[in-house]
Structure 1
């Protein structure tokens, strides 16, 4: 049996046993997200399309799949979705500015030999494409933070329904501080795990530390990690504020 199929079956069985119906939905969402990515690639390769706009639209669909399809439409998922979209909009402005002035778009000299036989005139703005790549690499972490904060704050409010909006917001931030360290380290190790072979290659080529830091490939990934970390950090107060507002507003309406 094909190894990929075998691993997929094992993953499906484990997600079903551990997660039940939500586990099955989570497994199906992998294929739905893959479909979104395929449509996204199809539109991005069109020179008349702006990759950043396509990425924003794709982010909406990805958010709906991972939040509403898996967990249903409720106060937690609505708050998490709004928090995710607002955070991405803030982050998009930062990423567009950074990628413009960092001059890291395109290919590095390490990739020249592999690309020598291909045409580089593909009609795509690599600056915007890089911004799209960073957003896609970040949206998972942002959604994870948003739904974690939403679930935690709703549980806190459930056990203490008389909490003020300010206290609820503070509690959300307190939970978020624990999440922040874990998520940023996850992004860090994901980079070094995926690019360990590249770092070993740099070592074999006797690259100096300065040459590694200034390498276009390395710089692009580091900037992606930093932007993702900034997105997570921005998302914490945004998610806490939105959840605190929506939760207390619902209570105020019930009391009115």
Structure 2
């Protein structure tokens, strides 16, 4: 417990020194988002509640905290959250199809031994839980990419107000391409770091490459990463176009 408190204090001090007021809000947002996720889990555990609906509401709450609470209510946050909603709509359709065809819901055979003493009759549709897990995993990357592009494009337009929507969109796409490279690498290394023990376990079990790829534990995480990556890619042109169109249109209306 003392270690956790010490690390929390170090994190707070660093965020305060480097981020100032926004750093403090970012630190508080961690606890707000944790509370939203915890509440969503409790609501999902109650039979009769639709996990997907709860997840979407939780994602909207997390997006509000990440965009409006941290960055306040401004043009950048508005375009970012609209882009997030549009991306989620397209992404949900993709996730539905992938989960239905891949059958990754439930537990893998590697987990059965640990769970054999528990009842599996929990009264929850695990297909919906699998969809909810992937959606929840994408929201952080999507909002992060959206606000990064929107903020960068606002700065570009403020220093170059003569840019038309096409040139501004192109600048936003260039920023997005740079973000995309680091985002995909972050997702990859997050998977490797989080599941390094699982990969070592597969080696000890003498799994072939085909058995590893077809393992439900492994494939479910890889599919989640691919869906998150697809969301991070899809939101780049959506945010760039929406921001460019909105900025130029707003300028014309002011004239």
- TM-score with structure 1 length normalisation? 0.98
Superposition pairs of residues 58-69 of structure 1, within 5 angstroms: 58-69=58-69
The equivalent of 1:56 in structure 2 is 56
Q: Secondary structure at the match of 1:117?
A: coil
Q: How many residues align?
A: 255
Distance in 1 (alpha carbons) for counterparts of 2:157 and 2:28: 32
Distance in 2 (alpha carbons) for counterparts of 1:244 and 1:84: 16
The equivalent of 2:46 in structure 1 is 46
Distance in 1 (alpha carbons) for counterparts of 2:171 and 2:13: 36
Distance in 1 (alpha carbons) for counterparts of 2:30 and 2:233: 26
Superposition pairs of residues 241-256 of structure 1, within 5 angstroms: 241-255=241-255
The equivalent of 1:150 in structure 2 is 150
Q: CA deviation at 1:39?
A: 1.1
Superposition pairs of residues 165-204 of structure 1, within 5 angstroms: 165-204=165-204
Q: CA deviation at 1:220?
A: 0.1
Distance in 2 (alpha carbons) for counterparts of 1:66 and 1:85: 14
Q: CA deviation at 1:180?
A: 0.8
The equivalent of 1:162 in structure 2 is 162
Superposition pairs of residues 1-256 of structure 1, within 5 angstroms: 2-255=2-255
Q: Secondary structure at the match of 1:87?
A: helix
Q: Provide the alpha-carbon RMSD of the alignment.
A: 0.9
Distance in 1 (alpha carbons) for counterparts of 2:184 and 2:54: 26
Q: Deviations over 1:169-222 (max 9, x none)?
A: 111111101111110111011001100000000001100000000000000001
Which 5+ residue runs of structure 1 have no aligned equivalent? none
Q: Secondary structure at the match of 1:249?
A: helix
Distance in 1 (alpha carbons) for counterparts of 2:249 and 2:73: 18
Distance in 2 (alpha carbons) for counterparts of 1:46 and 1:101: 27
Which 5+ residue runs of structure 2 have no aligned equivalent? none
Q: Secondary structure at the match of 1:121?
A: coil
Q: CA deviation at 1:159?
A: 1.1
Distance in 2 (alpha carbons) for counterparts of 1:128 and 1:140: 20
Q: CA deviation at 1:3?
A: 0.9
Distance in 2 (alpha carbons) for counterparts of 1:224 and 1:38: 20
